[in-house]
């Protein structure tokens, strides 16, 4: 057998209503293409958006020298380039989890993104092809950050929680280099949260609070810087690679000298964790920083000749949420927060002609008097004349800075009390709001690029078919997880208030998990439990009528997967027809085998058995009428020999037709036929030889060696309805033994009947296709002149009624990894047919078995134990001679079936069935805790919501008086039934 794959899962994401482009959750990454005036954003919804800024970004707002041709009277730049505002350009759903960082490379033609879905992907938004982002690399855990030396580079570095830094080639050469972070110290905190690159050096940081430098060519460590006391969140490297700036959760920004190998400056302008740094300046003379409190700061240290305390630090803007990313270009600053919207703020001129308060001007003039004049001609925002910078907007750049001093702040602000007179540590946040009030220069952004509303909260309801969600606008929606559509809106309410209104009293096995981590509702299906949940067909509301048998159950996981992948099934049926056509066309050509007999004598069929397999449209499992198995009620007692006559756990069918139908679904969680040995099935009046299970493949494997041949159990096994008839008494005389059918192994690695080893197949979806084709070859060898019939037998509407999920429903196949899950395939309901070849190679084998052969993994049904007694002894007891009335049954068994079982045990069978007689549920009632139980309630629901305990459920049955329970003289019906049983066994 081929190498076994890691565990795989299937997910589908329900589409939200169509709306203009934009993120649905917070934004984590920003990048600007100044040549084309495009802003790119990466969000927590897994999407990357492109925005046309409609701004002139080619002319720098902070030139290095004055323009000699510009006069103060010149009008500002063309207003028309500012007036239109940003507009949506394009969007791609690049990832299935948060996008944590984005960078531009290859002359702004490649946008690289890093995500918590473990992948690094590249999107080429300027190309003519509308190609989806391509995966260029993958980590074993969340990928948190990216770095590239410049926008022209053809490689990008990524860092993740797997404690690795990887360098990826953007020209298709794959991974160039891998660096183990913290390997020497065996650190458990080697996760990479921050990364920066220049041509000659690579810097990384994380929760170790250590800054590490690496050689990007060899991957060797150059040095490390120790000094921060908390997580290093962002890093900048100057163009020459000799100065490094780091931001940390310890509320400081540190400046390090690579040549000196130490920290040169600690800047403390922030009072909260510093989350982001940005600079366009090759020498880092101007840089921007933002923190968890939402403060955006611009710092200018140009012309200070290394005395950074003489620099200027201004509070530019204040966001409502923490700013995870700040970038600036020319006259504009953009901020990304946990909001789906992006704000654009006006930049602030910090040149030598900045209008500072008088005290600051004097200090600044004296501090830079002996230095070269720093020239600046920053264009004023909106053409307005320069306004004086408020004293409250000037921040103390470090603890050792001499300004703004307490005296100057008191002089310039009568309302503010000195905040910076005493030296403070970066970790000491200002608590008193009256001390040193910081007033950002801008109260409002110039523009807000509006995002959309995404889902932020969810609640799976008890029926596990519906879910409630809350979005960022405060609206509550009710979703159908099977139809993949919202079915009701409750407006702006609390989700907890709506839940009691729509929830039902049901207990359904967990068959899926849901999440809203990308702002949409995703349903995740795992092989081990996605086929555990069922519902009764009579609870469905269908557009098209389907003929169901009584008490038929629908497997939820099987149902939804069948229709999520319906286009894939159609495509594979077409391919199968083409493949078989080629095989059948070859039948017309004579095949000569040396030594082959000229004719083969077919033995006469003396068993009376006939092959009834249809040659037309295949049915699920090859059976026309699949039955509901495992619904018998059995004696629940530890002793194998102590059982009630006539009380089965799962009965065995007697007549030939029932036997065949039963074998087709002897275990609801398997559609593999199960062989039944006649020796292990006791006929009426007989017992099994040793009352022990014969083998796992025996039809009575669920009986644990108990008597499996009682009348009631047979009918449960055959899925028969008791309706108005007296539990089908007429079948009691049929004693014909079942037909024995040999079970063939399904595993391709096991030997076949003739001793030949089966061909090996891939451990993937395509492995199922290979098995089917191998069967075709074997069929041609066995019957060389018989045309090959299809081996694809998808489930039919009576098992999986038609669902019509929206075409844009996203379909994802993932594989488990050490750090979470990695995407193997992503498409939509509409495209799974087109992607058949990809899905065949990447999807799991269990999905192929389900879709192409209607087979699901074998699994023992969960049972519930209960004690059944007459209420106040008004009716006969069902207990056996030993007084045992403890039973067990499949958790999906309904109260209706329990009442039918009671009726069979306490009433004599009528000699002639009366079609007008009342059904058991019409004259019998079942109670638990003095509560009358609905006839459609299952044992699972009863145990979870009524009994609410761990011990055996206590149930009491009584008559409602609509029918007189027959008795003979003073003898009870139970005694009479025991006598009849004794006569039958003698």
Express each pLDDT in 152-161 by its tens digit.
889 999 999 9
Q: Is the pLDDT of residue 729 over 60?
A: no
If one counts every other C-beta atom within 10 angstroms of the C-beta of residue 275, the result is 23
| Domain locations along the chain | 282-350+390-400+437-452, 558-582+762-853, 863-977
**What mean pLDDT is predicted for residues 568-596?**
81
Interatomic CA distance for residues 313 and 297, integer angstroms: 7
- What's the pLDDT band for 620 if we cut at 50, 70, 90? very low
CB neighbour class for 971 (10 Å; exposed up to 12, middle 13-18, buried from 19)? exposed
Interatomic CA distance for residues 8 and 5, integer angstroms: 8
Residue 155, pLDDT score: 93
- Express each pLDDT in 598-618 by its tens digit: 554 544 443 333 443 333 334
Residue 352, pLDDT score: 74
Element spanning 329, H or E: strand 325-329
Domain 863-977 listed as CATH 3.10.20.90:
yes
**Which of 390-399, 468-477, 487-496, 588-597 bottoms out in mean pLDDT, i.e. has the lowest?**
588-597
How far is C-alpha 843 from the chain's CA centre? Answer: 16
Instruction: List the alpha helices (DSSP H) in 655-728.
Output: 656-663, 711-718
- Express each pLDDT in 296-314 by its tens digit: 999 999 888 888 888 899 9
Direct distance between the N- and C-terminal alpha carbons of the chain, in angstroms, rounded to an integer: 55
**What mean pLDDT is predicted for residues 698-714?**
38
Neighbouring-strand partners of residue 14: 521
Q: Give the residue, 687 or 601, on which the prediction is more confident.
A: 601
The encoded tokens of residue 22 equal 């934009």
Q: Give the residue, 281 or 417, on which the prediction is more confident.
A: 281
**Which of 134-143, 214-223, 663-672 bottoms out in mean pLDDT, i.e. has the lowest?**
663-672
CB 516 within 8 A of CB 455: yes
- What's the pLDDT band for 559 if we cut at 50, 70, 90? very high
CA 165-168-171 angle, to 5 degrees, is 175
Looking up tokens 């055996």 gives: 952
- What's the pLDDT band for 913 if we cut at 50, 70, 90? confident
CB 70 within 8 A of CB 376: no
> In what order do the strands lie in the sheet containing 99-105?
99-105, 110-115, 119-123, 134-138
Q: Is the pLDDT of residue 894 over 80?
A: yes
**Which of 47-51, 361-365, 896-900 bottoms out in mean pLDDT, i.e. has the lowest?**
361-365
Q: Which residues contact 432 (CB under 8 A, 6 or more apart)?
A: none
- What's the pLDDT band for 80 if we cut at 50, 70, 90? very low
**Which of 96-110, 216-230, 516-530, 816-830 bottoms out in mean pLDDT, i.e. has the lowest?**
816-830
Q: Give the residue, 241 or 623, on which the prediction is more confident.
A: 241
Q: What size, in residues, is the chain?
A: 986
The encoded tokens of residue 870 equal 């007459």
Residue 316, pLDDT score: 96
CB 865 within 8 A of CB 886: yes
Residue 262, pLDDT score: 92
Interatomic CA distance for residues 226 and 209, integer angstroms: 7
Residue 392, pLDDT score: 87
- What's the pLDDT band for 597 if we cut at 50, 70, 90? low
- Express each pLDDT in 743-763 by its tens digit: 334 443 444 444 456 788 899
C-alpha separations of 570 from 152, 577, 800 in Å: 46, 11, 16
Q: Is the pLDDT of residue 122 over 90?
A: yes
Q: Give the residue, 331 or 76, on which the prediction is more confident.
A: 331
Residue 687, pLDDT score: 37
What percent of the chain has a predicted confidence (pLDDT) above 90? Answer: 53
Residue 691, pLDDT score: 37
How far is C-alpha 642 from the chain's CA centre? Answer: 48
C-alpha separations of 628 from 471, 533, 563, 644, 726 in Å: 40, 14, 21, 24, 20
Residue 379, pLDDT score: 38
Q: Which residues contact 331 (CB under 8 A, 6 or more apart)?
A: 61, 346, 347, 378, 379, 381
**What mean pLDDT is predicted for residues 656-669?**
33
The encoded tokens of residue 748 equal 């391709």
Closest CA relative to residue 211, chosen from 225, 228, 192, 194: 225
Summary mean pLDDT of the chain: 77
Q: Is the pLDDT of residue 921 over 50?
A: yes
CB 880 within 8 A of CB 909: no
The secondary structure of 784-850, three-state, reads CCCCCCCCCCCCCCCCCCCCCCCCCCEEEEEEEECCEEEEEEEEECCCCCCCHHHHHHHCCHHHHHH
Neighbouring-strand partners of residue 457: 470
Interatomic CA distance for residues 730 and 721, integer angstroms: 14
Residue 819, pLDDT score: 73
Neighbouring-strand partners of residue 312: 300
Q: Is the pLDDT of residue 972 over 70?
A: no
Residue 793, pLDDT score: 95
Residue 78, pLDDT score: 44
Looking up tokens 């069918």 gives: 653
Q: Is the pLDDT of residue 976 over 90?
A: no
Element spanning 196, H or E: strand 194-197
Q: Is the pLDDT of residue 3 over 60?
A: no
CB 671 within 8 A of CB 636: no
**What mean pLDDT is predicted for residues 654-670?**
34
Residue 977 — φ and ψ, nearest 5°? -65, -35
Residue 928, pLDDT score: 94
**What mean pLDDT is predicted for residues 906-933?**
89
Residue 584, pLDDT score: 86
Q: Is the pLDDT of residue 552 over 60?
A: yes
Q: Is the pLDDT of residue 77 over 80?
A: no
Closest CA relative to residue 331, chosen from 354, 350, 314: 350
Q: Is the pLDDT of residue 172 over 90?
A: no
- What's the pLDDT band for 578 if we cut at 50, 70, 90? very high
- Express each pLDDT in 12-21 by its tens digit: 999 988 767 8
Q: Is the pLDDT of residue 542 over 60?
A: yes
Q: Is the pLDDT of residue 268 over 50?
A: yes
Q: Is the pLDDT of residue 377 over 80?
A: no
Residue 769, pLDDT score: 96
**What mean pLDDT is predicted for residues 86-97?**
91
Residue 365, pLDDT score: 64
- Express each pLDDT in 318-374 by its tens digit: 999 999 999 999 899 999 999 999 999 999 988 877 788 776 766 666 655 444 434
């Amino acid at each position: 057998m081929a190498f076994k794959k890691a565990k795989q899962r299937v997910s589908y994401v329900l589409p939200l209503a169509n709306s203009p482009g934009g993120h649905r959750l917070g934004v984590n990454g920003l990048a600007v293409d100044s040549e084309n005036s495009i802003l790119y954003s990466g969000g927590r919804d897994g999407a990357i958006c492109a925005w046309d800024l409609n701004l002139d970004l080619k002319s720098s707002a902070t030139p290095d020298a004055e323009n000699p041709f510009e006069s103060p009277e010149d009008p500002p730049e063309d207003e028309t380039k500012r007036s239109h505002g940003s507009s949506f350009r394009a969007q791609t759903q690049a990832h299935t989890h948060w996008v944590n960082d984005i960078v531009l490379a290859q002359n702004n033609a490649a946008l690289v993104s890093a995500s918590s879905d473990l992948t690094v992907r590249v999107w080429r938004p300027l190309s003519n092809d509308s190609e989806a982002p391509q995966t260029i690399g993958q980590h074993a855990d969340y990928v948190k950050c990216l770095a590239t030396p410049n926008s022209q580079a053809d490689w990008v570095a990524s860092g993740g929680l797997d404690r690795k830094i990887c360098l990826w080639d953007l020209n298709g050469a794959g991974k160039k280099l891998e660096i183990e972070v913290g390997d020497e110290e065996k650190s458990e905190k080697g996760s990479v949260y921050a990364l920066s690159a220049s041509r000659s050096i690579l810097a990384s940081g994380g929760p170790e609070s250590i800054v590490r430098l690496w050689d990007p060519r060899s991957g060797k460590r150059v040095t490390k810087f120790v000094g921060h006391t908390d997580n290093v969140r962002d890093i900048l490297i100057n163009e020459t690679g000799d100065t490094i700036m780091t931001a940390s959760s310890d509320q400081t920004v540190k400046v390090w000298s690579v040549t000196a190998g130490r920290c040169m400056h600690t800047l403390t302008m922030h009072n909260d964790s510093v989350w982001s740094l940005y600079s366009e300046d090759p020498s880092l003379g101007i840089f921007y920083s933002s923190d968890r409190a939402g403060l955006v700061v611009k710092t200018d240290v140009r012309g200070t000749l290394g005395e950074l305390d003489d620099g200027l630090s201004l509070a530019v803007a204040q966001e409502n949420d923490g700013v995870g990313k700040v970038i600036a270009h020319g006259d504009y600053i953009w901020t990304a927060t946990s909001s789906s919207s992006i704000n654009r703020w006006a930049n602030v001129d910090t040149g030598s002609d900045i209008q500072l308060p008088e005290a600051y001007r004097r200090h600044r003039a004296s501090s830079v008097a002996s230095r070269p004049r720093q020239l600046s001609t920053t264009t004023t925002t909106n053409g307005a004349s320069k306004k004086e910078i408020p004293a409250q907007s000037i921040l103390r750049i470090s603890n050792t800075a001499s300004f703004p001093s307490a005296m100057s702040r008191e002089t310039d602000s009568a309302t503010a009390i000195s905040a910076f007179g005493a030296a403070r540590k970066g970790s000491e946040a200002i608590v008193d709001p009256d001390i040193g009030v910081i007033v950002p220069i801008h109260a409002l952004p110039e523009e807000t690029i509006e995002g959309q509303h995404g889902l932020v909260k969810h609640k799976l309801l008890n029926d596990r078919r519906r879910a409630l969600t809350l979005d960022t606008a405060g609206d509550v929606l009710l979703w159908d997880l099977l139809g993949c559509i919202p079915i009701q809106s409750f407006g702006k309410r609390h989700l907890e208030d709506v839940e009691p209104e729509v929830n039902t009293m049901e207990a359904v096995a967990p068959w899926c998990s849901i999440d809203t981590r990308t702002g949409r509702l995703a349903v995740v299906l795992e092989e081990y439990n996605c086929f555990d949940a069922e519902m009764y067909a009579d609870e469905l509301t269908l557009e098209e009528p389907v003929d169901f048998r009584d008490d038929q159950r629908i497997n939820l996981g099987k149902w939804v997967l069948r229709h999520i992948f319906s286009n894939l099934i159609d495509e594979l049926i077409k391919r199968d027809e083409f493949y078989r056509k080629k095989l059948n066309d070859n039948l017309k050509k004579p095949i000569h085998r040396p030594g082959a007999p000229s004719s083969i004598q077919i033995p006469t069929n003396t068993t009376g058995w006939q092959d009834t397999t249809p040659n037309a449209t295949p049915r699920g499992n090859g059976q026309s009428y699949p039955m509901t198995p495992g619904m018998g009620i059995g004696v629940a007692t530890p002793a194998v020999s102590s059982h009630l006559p006539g009380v089965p756990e799962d009965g065995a069918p007697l007549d030939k037709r029932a036997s065949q139908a039963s074998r087709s679904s002897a275990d609801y969680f398997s559609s593999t036929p199960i062989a039944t040995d006649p020796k292990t099935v006791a006929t009426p009046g007989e017992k099994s030889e040793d009352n022990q299970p014969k083998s796992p493949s025996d039809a009575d494997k669920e009986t644990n060696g108990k008597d499996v041949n009682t009348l009631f159990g047979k009918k449960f096994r055959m899925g028969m309805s008791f309706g108005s008839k007296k539990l089908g008494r007429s079948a009691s005389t049929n004693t014909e033994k079942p037909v024995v059918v040999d079970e063939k192994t399904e595993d391709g690695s096991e030997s076949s009947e003739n001793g030949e080893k089966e061909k090996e197949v891939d451990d993937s979806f395509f492995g199922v296709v290979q098995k089917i084709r191998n069967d075709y070859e074997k069929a041609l060898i066995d019957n060389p002149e018989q045309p090959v019939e299809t081996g694809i037998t998808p489930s039919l509407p009576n098992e999986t009624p038609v669902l019509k999920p929206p075409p844009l429903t996203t379909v994802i196949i993932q594989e488990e990894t050490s750090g979470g899950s990695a995407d193997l395939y992503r498409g939509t309901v509409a495209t799974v047919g087109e992607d058949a070849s990809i899905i065949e190679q990447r999807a799991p084998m269990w999905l192929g078995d389900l879709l192409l052969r209607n087979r699901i993994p074998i699994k023992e049904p969960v049972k519930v134990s209960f004690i059944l007694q007459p209420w106040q002894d008004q009716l006969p007891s069902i207990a056996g001679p030993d007084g045992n009335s403890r039973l067990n049954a499949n958790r999906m068994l309904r109260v209706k079936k329990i009442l039918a079982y009671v009726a069979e045990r306490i009433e004599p069978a009528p000699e002639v069935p009366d079609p007008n007689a009342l059904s058991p549920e019409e004259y019998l009632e079942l109670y638990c805790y003095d509560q009358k139980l609905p006839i459609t309630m299952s044992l699972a629901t009863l145990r979870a919501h009524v009994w609410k305990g761990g011990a055996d459920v206590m149930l009491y049955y009584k008559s409602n008086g609509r029918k007189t329970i027959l008795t003979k003289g003073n003898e009870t019906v139970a005694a009479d039934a025991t006598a009849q049983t004794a006569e039958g066994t003698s």
